[in-house]
Amino acid sequence: MLGSRAYEPDRDINSPNRNISPVSSEINEEGKLMVGGCQLSELAKKFGTPLYVLDELSLRTACKTYLQALRKHYPGESLPLYASKANSSLAICSLIASEGFGLDAVSEGELLTALKGGVERERIVFHGNNKSDKELKFAHQNNVTVVLDNFHDIEKLKRIASENKPANLMLRLTPGIECHTHEYIRTGHLDSKFGFDPDEVENVLKELKRFKWANLTGLHAHIGSQIFETQPHIDLADVMADTMKMAKEIGHPITNLNLGGGLGIKYNQEDNPPSIEKWVEVISKAVVEACNKRKLDLPKLMCEPGRSLVASSGLTIYEIGAKKVVPGIRKYVCVDGGMSDNPRPITYQSEYTACLVDKSLSSDLEEVTIAGKHCESGDVLLKDFPLPPCESGDFLAVFGTGAYNYSMSSNYNRIPRPATVMVNDGFVELTQRRELPEDLLQLDVLPDRFITKN
Ligand code: LLP
């Protein structure tokens, strides 16, 4: 529960991931919730609902905090990359590039968005456990660094890269590190589809030495997402430094070390993730120590935050519609979106925090279950959550939806995707227009023989 009132803004100004709502959130004299100087109920009326809202200040603050912390705590060169799977759009790519970030992409779509959004190609890395020829050619033509995930990548690149145009490569390994997060979003443990198994790494490094087209500069690992502990990243630095040493002995001086992303955010009052600065400090010290112990030169330190960069800058506004009371059991309040714009609750049982944007000061609370509008009983966004009594037509904000919502959205039930707006200092700009039912029909092809004559 959010204290005694329905809504109380948090205030960790420098680390947006430790706030449930965007850092610019405030309640005006009329008790209405504002973000980026814009009243949320006015945005809902102007742009319609559901509506994704991104707070530019939160996004820029998170970027700046990562960069400043790396400069403060890591004595060598560093480059943070935005994991664009969290939320890929031209506006976000352009914003993170303007802050000095590079980017991690996992498909031609994400690569194209990054390139068109103005991210420098030399600062883009291309991941994926099953890259296609077309994707690899596109990445190679654009001088993007390819992260080798398996032998399949090597076989394909043999035919694409050449001595005249070598491929810049990093090698991803499965570090065998367990961390406490949902099993679907854990990637570093040994039973994972991502990266080379530790037992294969020596052979791969030796094999790459034979290829003139292969320019191996770095190592990569990612251990999972929404992680609150820091010990797994300390352990990871050790595993990676061992591999750097092995690579050096085989003749690959490793100059880039990418430790992935994973820092968690605060979705509800119980969540207590480390700050961005603390996380960067821990990984920086761990890498320095691990390299010193093995007498290795300090590599350029890379990391790939996704969620901790964008999630807390985002919220989704819904309009409340139907209600249903199941006597003695539950009160359902239905909104005009749900699992198609936020599939995380139904996929991972993820928890969220919400408030009624124009009734945020009320302390008269009742437990309600916020249900989506899709034809699926599991389409529930928040279960038994305390809210002031609400009417049809009220607007509800669900916080922390800036990451893995739009990027995982679907058109289930042929429901069009919401628009996205970015707010800052009293200004609002559309960064993604709302899909229309007609947009969905544009991809349909009706074979001639199905066309009826009348
Ligand atoms: N680097 C790699 C190679 C990754 O696979 C990921 C996330 C990241 C970086 C960024 O991790 P982050 O900083 O966002 O934790 N759909 C799930 C999350 C899947 C994460 C996949 N990989 C969710 O909604 O929780």
Q: What is the phi/psi pair of residue 303, to 5°?
A: -145, 165
The whole-number average pLDDT for the span 195-201 is 94
Torsion of CA 379, 307, 33, 272, to 10 degrees: 100
Looking at the predicted structure, is the pLDDT value of residue 1 above 90? no
Q: What is the phi/psi pair of residue 279, to 5°?
A: -60, -45
Is 140 part of any domain?
yes
Query: How many Å lie between the centroid of ligand 1 and the Cα of residue 266?
Result: 16
List all residues whose CB is within 6 A of at least one atom of ligand 1: 83, 85-86, 104, 127, 185, 187, 222, 225-226, 260-263, 304-308, 344, 348, 404, 408
Say yes or no: 148 and 250 in one domain: yes
Contacts of 438 (CB under 8 A, 6+ apart): none
Query: How many Å lie between the centroid of ligand 1 and the Cα of residue 207?
Result: 30
The reported pLDDT for the residue numbered 2 is 42
Say yes or no: 362 and 435 in one domain: yes
For residues 172 and 221, the answer to whether their CB atoms sit within 8 Å is: yes
Say yes or no: 326 and 239 in one domain: no
Is 64 part of any domain?
no
The pLDDT mean for the chain works out to 95
Is 401 part of any domain?
yes
Say yes or no: 276 and 338 in one domain: no
Domain boundary, last residue among 252, 280, 305: 305
Say yes or no: 320 and 405 in one domain: yes
The residue whose CA has the least distance to atom 5 of ligand 1 is: 222
Is 410 part of any domain?
yes
Confidence of residue 10 (pLDDT cuts 50, 70, 90): confident
- Domain tally, the chain: 2
Question: pTM for the complete prediction?
Answer: 0.96
The CA-CA-CA angle for residues 185, 191, 192, to 5°, reads 45
Say yes or no: 158 and 224 in one domain: yes
The reported pLDDT for the residue numbered 298 is 98
pLDDT tens digits, 385-432: 999 999 999 999 999 999 999 999 999 999 999 999 999 999 999 999
The residue whose CA has the least distance to atom 21 of ligand 1 is: 185
Say yes or no: 159 and 262 in one domain: yes
Q: Which of 7-11, 13-17, 317-321 has the highest mean pLDDT?
A: 317-321
The reported pLDDT for the residue numbered 3 is 42
Share of the chain above pLDDT 90, in %: 91
Query: How many Å lie between the centroid of ligand 1 and the Cα of residue 192?
Result: 14
Beta pairing class for 314-326 and 330-335: antiparallel
- We report the CATH number of the domain holding residue 298 as 3.20.20.10
Q: How far apart are CA 354 and CA 346, in angstroms?
A: 17
Domain boundary, last residue among 305, 321, 347: 305
The reported pLDDT for the residue numbered 8 is 73
Query: How many Å lie between the centroid of ligand 1 and the Cα of residue 54?
Result: 19
pLDDT tens digits, 210-252: 999 999 999 999 999 999 999 999 999 999 999 999 999 999 9
Is 65 part of any domain?
no
For residues 304 and 85, the answer to whether their CB atoms sit within 8 Å is: no
Active site residue 93: no
The reported pLDDT for the residue numbered 451 is 86
- We report the CATH number of the domain holding residue 425 as 2.40.37.10
CA 181 to chain centre: 15
Q: How far apart are CA 402 and CA 407, in angstroms?
A: 9
Looking at the predicted structure, is the pLDDT value of residue 194 above 90? yes
The residue whose CA has the least distance to atom 19 of ligand 1 is: 185
Candidates 93, 303, 355, 375; catalytic one:
375
The reported pLDDT for the residue numbered 294 is 97
The reported pLDDT for the residue numbered 454 is 65
pLDDT tens digits, 250-306: 999 999 999 999 999 999 999 999 999 999 999 999 999 999 999 999 999 999 999
Say yes or no: 422 and 285 in one domain: no
Full residue range of the structural domain in which residue 414 is found = 3-56+313-441
pLDDT tens digits, 105-141: 999 999 999 999 999 999 999 999 999 999 999 999 9
- From the list 237, 351, 252, the residue with the least C-alpha distance to 301 is 237
Say yes or no: 399 and 284 in one domain: no
Query: How many Å lie between the centroid of ligand 1 and the Cα of residue 7?
Result: 29
Q: How far apart are CA 353 and CA 340, in angstroms?
A: 18
Say yes or no: 210 and 176 in one domain: yes
Question: Which of ligand 1's atoms lies nearest the C-alpha of 307?
Answer: 14
Is 190 part of any domain?
yes
CB 312: neighbour CB atoms within 10 A?
33
Is 101 part of any domain?
no
Substitution candidate for ligand 1 out of 66, 92, 225, 381 with most atoms within 8 A of CB: 225
Q: How far apart are CA 50 and CA 101, in angstroms?
A: 30
For residues 337 and 331, the answer to whether their CB atoms sit within 8 Å is: no
Residue that wins the pLDDT comparison between 263 and 12: 263
Domain boundary, last residue among 276, 305, 334: 305
The reported pLDDT for the residue numbered 11 is 75
Residue that wins the pLDDT comparison between 185 and 56: 56
Q: Which two tokens stand for residue 275?
A: 């700050």
Q: How far apart are CA 170 and CA 236, in angstroms?
A: 16
Say yes or no: 156 and 279 in one domain: yes
Say yes or no: 411 and 290 in one domain: no
Substitution candidate for ligand 1 out of 307, 312, 349, 407 with most atoms within 8 A of CB: 307
Looking at the predicted structure, is the pLDDT value of residue 183 above 90? no
Burial 75-106 (b: 16+ CB within 10 A, else e): ebebbbbbbbbbbbbebbbbbbbebebbbbbb
The reported pLDDT for the residue numbered 360 is 86
The reported pLDDT for the residue numbered 190 is 81
pLDDT tens digits, 21-58: 999 999 999 999 999 999 999 999 999 999 999 999 99
- H, E, C per residue of the chain: CCCCCCCCCCCCCCCHHHCCCCCCCEECCCCCEEECCEEHHHHHHHHCCCEEEEEHHHHHHHHHHHHHHHHHHCCCCEEEEEEHHHCCCHHHHHHHHHCCCEEEECCHHHHHHHHHCCCCHHHEEECCCCCCHHHHHHHHHCCCEEEECCHHHHHHHHHHCCCCCCEEEEEEECCCCCCCCCHHHECCCCCCCCCECHHHHHHHHHHHHCCCCEEEEEEECCCECCECCCHHHHHHHHHHHHHHHHHHHHCCCCCEEECCCCECCCCCCCCCCCCHHHHHHHHHHHHHHHHHHCCCCCCEEEECCCHHHHHHHEEEEEEEEEEEEECCCEEEEEECCCCCCCCHHHHHCCCCCEEECCCCCCCCCEEEEEECCCCCCCCEEEEEEEECCCCCCCEEEEECCCCCCHHHCCCHHHCCCCEEEEEECCEEEEEECCCCHHHHHCCCCCCHHHCCCC
Q: Which two tokens stand for residue 362?
A: 């009320």
Query: How many Å lie between the centroid of ligand 1 and the Cα of residue 232?
Result: 15
Is 333 part of any domain?
yes
